[in-house]
Chains A and B, each alone.
Chain A
């Protein structure tokens, strides 16, 4: 079946602009995760959604980051007023139960 999909695959933006990243989880998966992977920080957990429950936002790196999940399915990660240090690959994952996570191909973000 279809895996986790993310869009766009690549995004180049100018410093100060807002960007929106999208994640479509595997159908039926109730849990959805966002991670960030950068050279300096490795893989970093950002936020977790379980169904329609409100997420714990404490893992988000700053208040410029926000995420939502509509209808317990598609999720968007929004970065406002992007900075160069936001450049990274943003990975989304989903799972049916707690355990193995299924990752999307990621969005490679470059902030100039």
Chain B
């Protein structure tokens, strides 16, 4: 079943602008992860944030996590055409792997050159 819900479903911005995507979830989690998917094929792991962390950075990516609101955001700064893709948040409830990841429906990001 879907847990994460990304918002917006689609986002189109100009190259160089910042892109912000949000994710809400319903249950308690061990960690939350963001993935990128190009052309409907394999997903690429971007960043993982644990339930006891509030913010994490990786290059042009910034992720925040608010466990009290059960929400996370992904910020991509100085966007590039190559950032065009679908972005998914995924929650890991148990931290033990047995439940797999629960993915949201994704945000489709288009970067206009």
Q: Footprint of B on A, CB under 8 Å?
A: 4, 31, 33, 35, 37, 42-48, 50, 56, 59, 89, 91, 93, 95, 98-106
B45-81 contact mask (Cβ, 8 Å, vs A): 1 or 0: 1001000000000000000000000000000000000
A50 to B94 alpha-carbon distance, docked (Å): 14
A103 and B104: CB pair below 8 A?
no
Q: Footprint of A on B, CB under 8 Å?
A: 2, 31, 33, 35, 40-45, 48, 88, 90, 92, 95-106
Q: How many A-B residue pairs have CB under 8 A?
A: 61
Q: Which residues of A contact B104 (CB under 8 A)?
A: 42
B33 and A42: CB pair below 8 A?
no
A89 and B103: CB pair below 8 A?
no
A46 to B98 alpha-carbon distance, docked (Å): 10
Given A42-B106, A98-B92, A99-B31, A89:B100 Cβ within 8 A = no
- Looking at A31, A33, A59, A99, the one whose CB has the most chain B CB atoms below 10 A away is A99
Selected from B48, B92, B99, B103, the residue in CB contact (under 8 A) with A43 is B103
